[in-house]
Amino acid sequence: MNQLLSDWSPSKAAIDLIKLNGISDEQIKQSESYLKNQLELKSVDDLNGYDNWDSFFILFCIKAHRNNN
């Protein structure tokens, strides 16, 4: 498991789950890019309530998609 955000990329299982929520490949890529380039997060230890990047990313994508609709 990657602790550092810079070393992480979403797993196939995470992407599949995100897509089940109606989120496109483009939206997934935009969300990943935003996380890696815009936020001050460096390590999974910076996240309260999450123990891995995939779980955070799944919820991040779903919430971002809902806020844009």
End-to-end CA distance of the chain: 32
Domain extent listing, the chain: 5-68
Question: Counting beta carbons within 10 angstroms of the beta carbon of residue 50, is it exposed (0 to 12), middle (13 to 18) or buried (19 or more)?
Answer: middle
| Structure confidence at residue 1 as a pLDDT band (50, 70, 90) | low
| Structure confidence at residue 57 as a pLDDT band (50, 70, 90) | very high
The SS3 assignment for 43 reads strand
Give the pTM: 0.87
CA distances to 3, 13, 22, 23, 50 from 65, in Å: 25, 18, 9, 7, 20
Q: Per residue in 17-32, pLDDT tens?
A: 999 999 999 999 999 9
Question: Counting beta carbons within 10 angstroms of the beta carbon of residue 42, is it exposed (0 to 12), middle (13 to 18) or buried (19 or more)?
Answer: exposed
